[in-house]
Amino acid sequence: MNILVVDDEQEIADLIEIYLTNANYQVYKYDSSKDVLKDLEQLKIDLAILDVMMPEMDGFALCEKIRERYRFPIIFVTAKVEDMDKINGLTIGADDYITKPFQPLELIARVKAQLRRYKNYDRGMAEEDQDRIEFRGIVIDHAAHVCFLNEEKLELTPIEFEILWYLCMHRGKAVKTDELFWYVWKEKYFEKDNNTVMVHIRHLREKMKDTGKRPKYIVTVWGVGYKIEKS
């Protein structure tokens, strides 16, 4: 199994790597958050261990970005010991929170427990979220990069495909425009970018033959962004 370790303290990261390797895990180690997100697709991570206090993007922000797409367990290992820090970490999507200094064998035990829970209970949903989604006549396969609507193939550009995929992943929820922009373009959103998103949404609606005053699929949530209803 593949474990992601992100910690700018080299000694801590090396220690975690040694114990994980001895437990027969494959470890991918980073000392900052900047390259993690772009590499996640290729790494096929099963669990992530994150520090909180890191340069450029802290662990809380990284956790939130990971949770926009992935369901694998996340464990914080950090020197931030305040109760509110722990509450914040668990609230934004972490599965466990360990404070430094820590016992390496305890960390390994918690890793195994999280992986056991994830594999036993969440695998089916995780595979659907990351590979294939079917609902309301939409069939979208991310691995094959194909999309059908009511058994008719949609010829989508890569950007249109990623927009639709992300909205389908979060079906029933309003997706903020800046969140959608970051996911698709991997850049920070500015107000001037709103027209870019609107144009691609319009093209998507045209290809889905859903351009009426009350779209059935991609709905505008004014002042927030867009969403696709579950039913």
Nearest to 139 by CA among 128, 126, 150, 148: 148
Mean pLDDT of 101-112: 90
pTM for the whole structure: 0.54
Tokens of 69: 């797409």
CA distances 189 to 120, 185, 200, 224, Å, are 38, 9, 15, 13
Describe the crossing of helices 158-169 and 194-207 by its angle, rounded to 10 degrees. 90
Residue 44, CB-side half-sphere exposure with 13 Å CA sphere: 6
Domain with CATH 1.10.10.10 in the chain: 136-228
Give the torsion sign (CA, 155, 161, 163, 167). Answer: positive
Tokens of 19: 């114990």
The CATH number of the domain covering residues in 2-130: 3.40.50.2300
Q: How confident is the model at residue 74 (pLDDT cuts 50, 70, 90)?
A: very high
Nearest to 204 by CA among 179, 151, 231, 168: 168
Domain with CATH 3.40.50.2300 in the chain: 2-130
Is the predicted pLDDT of residue 226 greater than 70, yes or no? yes
- 101 or 16: which carries more pLDDT confidence? 16
The CATH number of the domain covering residues in 136-228: 1.10.10.10
